[in-house]
């Protein structure tokens, strides 16, 4: 699939690893970018806004979206649906932007299947499971039950780090942000296969 002159940066990793903080920290330092706002059926957390953090929609609306094939990818995560709408992503890619996704390992798999040519991926995690537990507990926006689910999920997701181009261990937020800025800048420079082929053709004697 060729959509663009833009590029995609996929960020995955356990909830609580600091993906959102990192995205906030890097956005002014990586050139034109677009953060893909996912749709989800999960309840809104305290401090979250509809249309900013997520589009919070009902299960019925989500299922209708699946039927209408509006999602580039979607997945069931911790018992709730999450999905990336294709249309705004297409638009941002056409405008040459770096499109940033905060999606889980299943979503990453799907994006790689469809848009590997222009995709760079990063797995972001805390140094240890204990540290993740501490961060989730201090966030206090999730119940014990939800935290338990997220920790179980994290141990499973970590097994799939090798599917990613880069790993960032988010020990120090400033250091992690600098690393992510470097990766984001390089992601823009990834050359899609068809451009390489065109270039090679030009050199054909």
Binding mask 15-54 for ligand 5GP (x = CB under 6 A): x----------------------x---x------------
Instruction: Give the one residue of 23, 75, 100, 136 binding ligand 5GP; rule: CB under 6 A.
Output: 75
Helix (H, G, I), strand (E, B) or coil at 85: strand
CA 174 vs. chain centroid, Å, equals 20
Instruction: Give the one residue of 102, 117, 119, 187 binding ligand 5GP; rule: CB under 6 A.
Output: 102
Q: Strand pairing partners for 126?
A: none
List Cβ neighbours of 6 (8 Å cut-off, separation of 6 or more). 92, 93, 94, 95, 96, 97, 98, 99, 118
Looking at the Cβ atoms of 150 and 188, the one nearer to ligand 5GP is 150
Pairing state between β 166-169 and 39-40: unpaired
Site for ligand 5GP in 152-181 (CB under 6 A): none
d(CA 48, CA 142): 13
Segment interacting with ligand 5GP, rule: CB under 6 A, options 97-105, 131-139, 171-179, 186-194: 97-105
Which residues would be at the binding site for ligand 5GP (CB under 6 A)? 12, 15, 38, 42, 73, 75, 77, 82-84, 102-104, 106-107
């Amino acid at each position: 699939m060729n959509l663009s002159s833009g590029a995609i940066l996929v960020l995955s990793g356990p909830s609580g690893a600091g993906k959102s903080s990192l995205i906030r920290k890097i956005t002014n330092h990586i050139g034109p970018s677009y953060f893909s706002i996912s749709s989800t059926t999960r309840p809104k957390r305290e401090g979250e806004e509809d249309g900013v953090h997520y589009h919070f929609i009902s299960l019925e609306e989500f299922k209708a979206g699946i039927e209408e094939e509006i999602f580039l990818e979607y997945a069931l995560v911790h018992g709730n649906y999450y999905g990336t709408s294709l249309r705004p992503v297409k638009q941002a890619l056409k405008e040459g932007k770096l499109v940033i996704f905060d999606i889980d390992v299943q979503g990453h798999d799907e994006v790689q299947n469809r848009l590997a040519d222009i995709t760079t991926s990063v797995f972001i995690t805390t140094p240890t499971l204990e540290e993740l537990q501490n961060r989730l507990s201090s966030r206090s926006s999730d119940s014990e039950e939800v935290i338990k689910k997220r920790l179980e999920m994290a141990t499973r997701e970590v097994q799939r780090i090798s599917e990613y181009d880069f790993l960032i261990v988010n020990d120090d937020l400033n250091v992690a942000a600098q690393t992510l800025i470097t990766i984001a800048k390089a992601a823009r420079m990834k050359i899609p296969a068809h451009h390489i082929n065109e270039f090679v053709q030009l050199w054909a004697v």
